[in-house]
Amino acid sequence: MTDTIEHDLLIVGSGLAGLRAAIQAAKTSSQIKIAVISKLQVMRSHSVSAEGGTAAVLFPEEGDSIESHVYDTVKGSDFLADQDVVERLVHEMPAEIYQLEHWGMPWSRREDGRIGQRNFGGYSFPRASYAQDKVGFYEMQTLYDTCQKFDNIEFYNEWFTTSIIHDGQKFCGVTAIELASGTFYIIKGKALIIATGGAGRIYSYSTYGLSSTPDGLDMAYRAGLALKDMEFVQFHPTGILPSGILITEGARGEGGYLINKDGERFMKRYAPGKMELSPRDVVSRAMMTEIKEDRGFKHETGVDCLKLDLRHLGEDVIARKLPAIREISMKFSGIDPSNEPLDVRPVCHYMMGGIHTDINGATEIQGIWAAGEAACNGVHGANRLGANSTSECLVWGKVTGELAAKYVLENTPPPFPIHLVAAEEKRIFDGIFHGRGDVNPYEIKQELTEMMNEKAYVFRNEKDLVSGLKKLRELREKTWKHVDDQAKEYNTNFTNVIELDSMFRVAEVVLLGAIRRKETRGAHARTDYPERDDKNFLHHTLAYYDTKEPALKEHPVTITKYKPVERKY
């Protein structure tokens, strides 16, 4: 008999969206039992790595406006954002900034004592509220501290959730492995919020922590929920070499320059109005064009790159506003940015796509919501503007937390379909843990992630994408589903192979969506279809799980005020 635990509301994922949801649910009712389930210790969630800022209109009297933030976001999305969702984000964000402040968030300050805001790419006003360059860390600490004030929030640290159990209409529970003991559990619940973050580790050159594999997305996908817009992968212009660790956009927001081997600020050729502070897709394409036209540098590892120059900012500004960047640069590339430029190139940083939800974060199954980067509510369209992601986590953390708590109070779960637990146990224990194979799963993982770097990077084309898909399917056929380490306690070999299983399914959705979208829009740049095609592709892509291959469907974009026009910066 499988061990069983019961709670009212299950939140899988303990980053910004998960913690904000837990707080809001606990505030909505002190009667409901809330479980926050995380495969890590809470403060190791990848949200702590967010650096640059959280976008909100705080000072309309100084020239910023709600309308401007909405339009910047819609234009930044290359007109694929759902405009009603963008309006909700922008309207609700200022209150979230002040709410965090009341909970103890140490925002950086202007001379007059008001909250500091810096320039970020694609915005017409400095509206990225910041705390040095450690925004995510401070926000996480603030939310985690606040969670401790509620007796009805319980944390399950280092529990790996493997599947969602529902009866076809309504949510019933999840299955999970307690990593410390290796014990397999059923966790029953009336409602679920999926807040497991992005899938960036399907690329090997990536800003994501090693834990950011798509198990949460895959769990939803296998449960019959659609993944939406997965072809849109954001490449951040400034990943440090050789590790790919993020150098925040805040470095350019504070006045940093991008330069080529001729020493020129090349962005003047591509976006003379915004220069280095153009949206990320524009800057990444410009950088790869410079490299292709032989105006880049060669890093000592042989990789092509460009330089980010902060020297003119001066030691004081770097020490005061970008201390973590200086520390990262010195630790991971041996360079002090006060003295010499950094080697950078575009790096996988964010998934615009995720679990298909509506404006409230609700999925297609009753009692299940998704929030943060794991969700795709349509707010970012084809390209996210920097500083809107932490904002999204806060707003939809709050929204889903409240709705899920109210749902718990008003609904009773259906009879529990225990046969689904047996099927899941068979999949992960018979199929993986006790599986037998002659191929090293870690080598397969390396091949898969390097293939994604090569075939589905900043610029894409039919030939590369199709050969990438073929390679993925060949790798998947090899006998890698086996675990050499047969220990029960903390078996990372086991969890790594389960993660790899998820990576295959989600990477396949990314590639198929990219093949199907024969246009260039936002972060999806096709060299063989260089123009945006609103007539044929002004729609979201939905992917549903099928045993043969993902079933792709189209989903309309909500346009309220702004008709698509050409994007110029």
Residue numbers annotated as active site: 236, 252
- Structure tokens given for 94: 């200022």
Secondary structure class of 409 (helix, strand, coil)? helix
Burial status of residue 463 (CB atoms within 10 A of its CB: 0-12, 13-18, 19 or more): exposed
Q: Provide the 10 A C-beta neighbour count for residue 245.
A: 20
Instruction: Note whether 205 and 244 are within 8 A (CB).
Output: yes
Read out DSSP for 475-518?
A: HHHSS----S---STT-HHHHHHHHHHHHHHHHHHHHHHHHH--
Rounded Cα gap, residues 175 and 184, in angstroms: 7
Question: Could you tell me which of 178, 174, 175 has the C-alpha nearest to residue 191?
Answer: 174
Secondary structure class of 63 (helix, strand, coil)? coil
Amino acid at 513: G
- Structure tokens given for 441: 């799963």
- Structure tokens given for 300: 């000592």
Amino acid at 241: L
Instruction: Note whether 351 and 233 are within 8 A (CB).
Output: yes
- Structure tokens given for 550: 């993902």
Rounded Cα gap, residues 553 and 551, in angstroms: 7
Rounded Cα gap, residues 44 and 211, in angstroms: 9
Instruction: Note whether 35 and 186 are within 8 A (CB).
Output: no
Q: Provide the 10 A C-beta neighbour count for residue 379.
A: 28
E strand segments, 295-372: 297-298, 304-309, 342-351, 354-356, 368-370
Widest Cα–Cα separation across the chain: 69
Report the phi/psi class of residue 126: left, alpha or beta, with left for phi > 0 and alpha for psi in -120 to 50.
beta
Instruction: Note whether 537 and 524 are within 8 A (CB).
Output: no
Instruction: Note whether 177 and 234 are within 8 A (CB).
Output: no
Bridge partner list, 4: 186
Rounded Cα gap, residues 396 and 6, in angstroms: 25
| Half-sphere exposure in the Cβ direction for 255 (13 Å, CA) | 8
